[in-house]
Chain A
Amino acid sequence: MKIDIQSALLACVLVIAAAGSDLNAQTEADRAAALGREGRWTEARQLLAPVIATQAYQADGHAWFVMGFIHKELHKMHGEYGADAPERASAVMCFQRGLQVGLIASERQMAAEAMDFLARSYFREAIGMVEGFTWGSTDDIFALFGQYEAIQLSLDPMRSFAPERSDLNRYLGQAHAMLLESGSPQNSAESKAIFDAAIGHYKAALEGNPGDYSTQYNLAITLYNEGVRKLKTIDHKTSMFELMEIQDVCVELFEQALRPMEDAHAQQPERLETLKGLMTLHYALSQKEESGRYKTQIERILSNR
């Protein structure tokens, strides 16, 4: 068969042009994807959003995949934050819809990666809020962490979040404890609420990870420091009766601190901070002999160094 070289070349150019000129693509999804590739995400959403929920697109996984990317990029552009950030939530919903309806292998992988990215963005935001912790933000932090868990679970239903949740609780325990140390609580009721929250988070952390040294030690320290804080309120206006009452409260806190400190010590018997913790706790409990025993251990360890 005789081949017309000029005709063949023209055909090739048309094919390449058709493939390359995205804006001439046939579906709204393809055209939106092309706009997205040019960074015109708002226009892409305006194009695809009105039609994505129509019957024609209900089973079009590719369209939901494209819509997911549009929302994801808009989320990044707008710098949204919060568990209910609309673009981020829509992005997750669209990717999940796309995966449900069905995607080609490459899109499936990209959708999973994008969801993982979004999940981590919730996670990072939660950690950021813990690092710059303010009293009363715990619900928002757990809402963000909940979104992270939900997305990751949709990708891997068998995954366990116990260690991460335990870490989050430990961090929250420490954040509350730091708030107490800063002296920022406005009154004793607020101070007590923050203290109770710190203890609650540490205990929740230990439920998920009973053998965590830091949680045990920090729990003990938070209990002990609270006792010391109460002792420090004693002054010339404190009556004998009040002094006895304060002592009762403090001793109870010191006794509570002893168990987690001993648990931490059992894990790392040569660690100086726990030995010092036990020495100090027994001293505060007027148990001079036990306190002296730990002091001797500390001196022995230091002399061997």
Chain B
Amino acid sequence: MRALPNHHYSSPVVSSLLTWMLKFGYHKSRSQIGSVLIGFMLVAVGLIWIGRSNLHAQVQFNQTSAMDESDTRSITKANFLFHFSASNQWPSSKMEGPFRLAIVGNPSLHAILADKYGMKVIGSQQLEIIAFDDALALERAPFSHVIYCEESGETLERIAKYIEGQPVLLISDASDGLEHGALINFVAVKNRIRYEINSEEASKRNLLIGNRILSWAVKLVP
């Protein structure tokens, strides 16, 4: 089992080509022979490469499997964000125009959202998913209904201060996210992604958190 059948792709091909080449070249001029030689060498190299590719496929079979590189947490978080956008209610003044979902500092999450949810609608509003490198860039952008901030600490606090009093659902993924102004914060519970909600702060901002979202929260503040 360990010794798989041997493969001899290159040698016989090359030797027969060379033999044929010599026979052919015997009747030709030196320059023609040179061209023919180069042509056949290119063909031979191609055939050797094909042979090695096949061999490589055999060897690959003996090696280890490839790990799926997808960002698992972002796939889950993207769906949560879609539900947070679709299952809560914003003041009527914010229910016109596009529904903006801003992602600060997580390109992978933005890519998944754009791919899977980019063309969807929230109520009657077209969902727009926008990526920002940092909080500063966000401040220069138009109003966003939902902001997800990957970073905690000062960045999160800065965003929270910037949107103070506005009906913006700020979401974080930090151990102290709610303390720094987020309304919803992702937490890990038994190796799963869950979330906690500061419902009091949400109501202060005229955001009505849906029952479905409330019912799945692991912690409600207060």
Contacts and interface: CB of A to CB of B under 8 A. Distances in A.
Interface of A: 123-124, 127, 131, 163-164, 167-168, 171, 174, 177-178, 181, 214, 217-218, 221-222, 224-225, 227-229, 231-232, 234-236, 238, 240, 243-244, 247-248, 250-251, 254-255, 273, 276-277, 280, 283-288
A163 B191 contact: no
A222 B65 CA distance: 8
A240 B70 contact: no
Nearest to A177: B65
10 contacts: A163-B2, A222-B65, A232-B70, A234-B79, A240-B212, A247-B193, A251-B191, A277-B67, A280-B72, A286-B191
A236 B120 contact: yes
Interface string B121-145: 0000000000000000000000000
A244 to B, nearest CB: 7
Given A240-B83, A251-B191, A234 B65 contact: no
A76 B68 CA distance: 44
A121 B108 CA distance: 50
Contacts of A124: 5
Given A232-B75, A250-B72, A240 B67 contact: no
A217 B65 contact: yes
B64 A218 contact: yes
- Interface of A, helix, strand, loop or mixed by DSSP: helix
Nearest to A133: B61
A131 B58 contact: yes
B68 A234 contact: no
A189 to B, nearest CB: 22
Contact of B65 (A131, A221, A251, A283): A221
Closest 5 pairs between A and B when the two form their complex, measured CB to CB? A286-B188, A167-B1, A285-B191, A284-B72, A228-B68
A47 B182 CA distance: 92
B219 to A, nearest CB: 16
B79 A287 contact: no
Nearest to A148: B1
A231 B75 contact: yes
A228 B192 contact: no
A248 B120 CA distance: 26
B216 interface: yes
A218 B61 CA distance: 11
Given A236-B116, A236-B120, A286-B188, A127 B72 contact: no
A217 B70 CA distance: 18
Given A217-B65, A231-B72, 14 more contacts: A124-B5, A164-B1, A167-B2, A171-B1, A214-B63, A221-B66, A232-B75, A240-B87, A240-B216, A244-B216, A254-B191, A255-B191, A273-B64, A284-B72
A199 B58 CA distance: 22
Contacts of A218: 64-65
Interface in B60-89: 61-68, 70, 72-73, 75-76, 78-80, 82-83, 87
Given A247-B192, A255-B191, A286-B191, A238 B68 contact: no
Contacts of B68: 224-225, 228-229
Given A276-B67, A277-B67, A286-B188, A171 B61 contact: yes
A225 B5 CA distance: 30
Contacts of B192: 244, 247-248, 251, 286
A168 B72 CA distance: 32
B79 A243 contact: yes
B117 interface: yes
Given A168-B1, A174-B65, A229-B68, A286 B117 contact: no
Contact of B67 (A221, A231, A232, A243): A221
A232 B83 CA distance: 16
A94 B112 CA distance: 65
Contacts of B212: 240
A45 B215 CA distance: 81
Interface in B1-25: 1-2, 4-5
Contact of A221 (B61, B64, B87): B64
A253 to B, nearest CB: 11
Nearest to B4: A127
Contact of B188 (A177, A229, A287): A287
